[in-house]
Amino acid sequence: MMKVKKQKLKKRKVLFLQLHEALNIWILQALTMGIIITESIICEKAKYFAISFSISDQFQFSNGWLNKFKKRSNIKARKIMGEEASAPIESLPKERNRLQQILSHFQDENIFNADETGLFF
């Protein structure tokens, strides 16, 4: 009878803790503001922080690094669907102002949200 030896995976400590923490804080703030974050955006922001912390010459922003960062930070990809995917993020402030101008001609009790109202004949 043969015994199978379980291998213990080493949990490596983060080499550039300041970069790791700054990137996590930035991601949390961006998600709170409703900003859509992609893997390439994470890498670009990591490069920006690395330059700011003067460690850019010591660092490789590879797919391996990105995957390990996402795993350590418990970041998961999700597909944006429905209304969230159709929102014009770039023009949102302008459209919000336009809507407020239109609604300013009405009293509050005469404004309704018909977001998910069905039309029945």
Domains in the chain: how many in total? 1
Domain limits at 23? 17-73
Question: In this predicted structure, what is the pLDDT of residue 96?
Answer: 85
pTM, two decimals, is 0.54
Query: Could you tell me how many helices (H) and strands (E) the chain has, helices first?
Result: 5, 0
Question: In this predicted structure, what is the pLDDT of residue 73?
Answer: 84
Tell me, yes or no, whether 102 lies in a domain: no
User: Which residues of the chain carry a pLDDT beneath 50?
Assistant: 1-4
Instruction: Return the CATH number at 39.
Output: 1.10.10.60
Tell me the two tokens of residue 72.
């350590």
* Beta carbons within 8 Å of 24's beta carbon, 6+ residues apart: 73
Question: In this predicted structure, what is the pLDDT of residue 6?
Answer: 53
